[in-house]
Homo-oligomer: A and B are copies of this chain.
Amino acid sequence: MRVHHFHVAYLDKPAAASSSTAETSSTAHPFPSSAAVFPFALRCLRPLAPKLSLPEQPKKMVAPADVLGRVRNATKLLSCTVRNHTVQVPVGGTTRWNPSAEQIKMLEALYRGGMRTPNAAQIERITEELGKHGRIEGKNVFYWFQNHKARERQKQKRAALLTLSTLDSPALPQTTATTKVTSKQQEASDDVPSSKRRCTAWGNNGHGDAAATTTSTGGNATLELFPLRPQGRA
């Protein structure tokens, strides 16, 4: 288990310890950086990933922030001293960016225009511009594009699968066995550049991983994932 690099921390923003134990030490930020120290660790905030459907785990319980001290996103923390302990409570209005209609409109326009992963300069510019219509930070722009891209992809993949499923009928015998196809993929073109997921998407759903399931419907183990165009190229 390797310690992964962690990026995506943003500047001027504490972003207090997220889901894991908040036993943090102090930060190295030049800032006050209110990395919250939470004396009461009551209730574990869920071990980070199980997700294995614990039947009756009351995982839903979304307790009010003021109780659990969700500081994750707080913009500011106020220190108070209680029985010799200094606790910090989130203060300040909203913590999460709430885009205005205008901002969304503009962002979507950019997206439609083809922008997907704006670089720093672009983000800066966009932020500056959108700032005229409401509070916004560069990271908001960054995240917006990330999320939007990912979710659009999801949506479309679903739609495509659906459509394909209707096209799926013939139960192609799948002549050409597998074909390595290398991994080079073809030009990934514009959208959905992801290297391989895309293949799985088109790989003809049968999949379900390995042979295990397969069954009748699609003996079609692997439809050549993305064998390039006819007559293939290199």
- Residues of chain A whose beta carbon lies under 8 Å from any beta carbon of chain B: 1-31, 33, 35-42, 44, 47-53, 56-57, 59, 61-62, 64, 66-68, 106, 109-126, 128-129, 137-139, 142, 149, 152-153, 156-157, 159-164, 166-170, 172, 175-176, 184-207, 209-210, 223-234
Contacts and interface: CB of A to CB of B under 8 A. Distances in A.
Contact of A187 (B21, B51, B120): B51
Contacts of A200: 4, 119-121
A14 B201 contact: no
4 cross-chain pairs, A with B, having the tightest CB-CB distances, nearest first: A113-B160, A120-B202, A190-B233, A20-B20
Given A159-B109, A231-B115, A192 B187 contact: yes
Given A40-B120, A119-B41, A167 B114 contact: no
- Prevailing SS type, chain A contact patch: loop
A205 B119 contact: no
Given A3-B209, A9-B51, A114-B156, A56 B234 contact: yes
B26 A230 contact: no
Nearest to A152: B190
Nearest to A37: B7
